[in-house]
Structure 1
């Protein structure tokens, strides 16, 4: 088994699409789900398949974040460059952080229009992609 993608319910689809495309996602396709509901499937350009689905169900009312979901983590190559590009696109990333000390990963956070938190992570040189059991040794 493997995870296919994360799905977020969003209040205003166009606003959320603007945010996620500024973050770097591209649209793979859309599905009309009936009763005005729409699904938009996204991925980063270098990903082989979908990694994020935005679900817009206007009949369900606005999204209320905080019912258990914490955040989405996204790996980036060079965090300082990513933060500059995001700021130029009108997004507001938080300052660079070093949660594991100066030799650990670099992180920053931003919040999407519905309040979902996103952690941007740059691994130290030589670290494998993602978190592995070696990170807990």
Structure 2
């Protein structure tokens, strides 16, 4: 894995959200709201189809956009490897998801106190739940790759 810094001559940038094409909007909304997302807004008619903006509790911004066009169902999920969602309590999250009918894989310890588990959404997209060890920053940084 390579590390490095972004070109400092570029304008300030940050990742906003991921647009994920879904085959059945209602089924996908039921899944994503069950794992904690809330609908922030919708844009019904675009060149891509309808857009539904989702946000996790505690996040200041939308992080997921469900893109739905009945004429263009999901045919290949291979371009998206996985989504990652940070949780504070992995065991508690897995229990809560189970109470909502969503089965998560057994948790795994990845060293240094990082724990993960996996879910699969209705279209087959994989979602990794991550619990950072105590004291870890809220996101991944170059420090995570120092050997």
| TM-score normalised to structure 2 length | 0.86
Deviation at residue 35 of structure 1 after TM alignment: 8.4
**Structure 1 gaps, min length 5:** none
> Structure 1 stretches (4+) deviating beyond 2 angstroms?
34-37, 64-68
- CA RMSD after TM alignment: 1.6
Q: Once the two structures are superposed, what CA deviation does each residue of 1:55-84 show, in whole Å capped at 9, x if it has no partner?
A: 001111x31234321000010000000000
Task: State whether structure 2 residue 109 is matched by structure 1 residue 98.
Answer: yes
Q: Once the two structures are superposed, what CA deviation does each residue of 1:78-102 show, in whole Å capped at 9, x if it has no partner?
A: 00000000000000110011122xx
Distance in 2 between residues matched to 1:67 and 1:30, nearest whole Å? 26
Could you say if the C-alpha distance between residues 70 and 36 of structure 1 is closer, same or farther in structure 2, counting changes exceeding 3 Å?
closer
Please identify the structure whose Cα radius of gyration is greater.
2
Question: 1:72 is matched with which residue: 69, 74, 83?
Answer: 83
Q: Kindly tell me the number of residue pairs found equivalent between the two proteins.
A: 134
| TM-score normalised to structure 1 length | 0.92
Match of 2:127 in 1: 118
**Structure 2 gaps, min length 5:** 1-12
Deviation at residue 36 of structure 1 after TM alignment: 10
